[in-house]
Amino acid sequence: MEQINIHEAKTQLSSLVARAAKGESFIIAKAGKPMVKVIPYSEPMKMSRTGFLKDKITVPKDFDRMCENEIAELFGIK
């Protein structure tokens, strides 16, 4: 991977940004010591959580009342 001196990077910022935008990666170094890795930006995948199990599971009609008696006993209500 190409290593570019920080002074050169400052003077050629526009061209380096253009190179990265085209998919090129490189390292910017200071006094020969690698400081940062420049990589092309890509949009993160957008994941939708709503409805991701649609048509894969079914919820019982009495879901909100399931185990009602057992839970009441645990809390000493019945």
Task: Give the global pTM.
Answer: 0.56
pLDDT, tens only, 3-29: 999 999 999 999 999 999 999 999 999
Residue with tokens 């390292």: 27
DSSP class of residue 15 equals H
- Averaged pLDDT, 51-55: 84
Taking phi over 0 as left and psi of -120 to 50 as alpha, with beta for the rest, 67 belongs to left
Q: What is the model's pLDDT at position 53?
A: 84
The pair of structure tokens assigned to 60 is 């019982």
Identity at 57, one-letter amino acid code: I
Q: What is the model's pLDDT at position 38?
A: 96
Residue with tokens 């894969």: 56
DSSP class of residue 44 equals P
Q: What is the model's pLDDT at position 46?
A: 83
- Averaged pLDDT, 23-45: 94
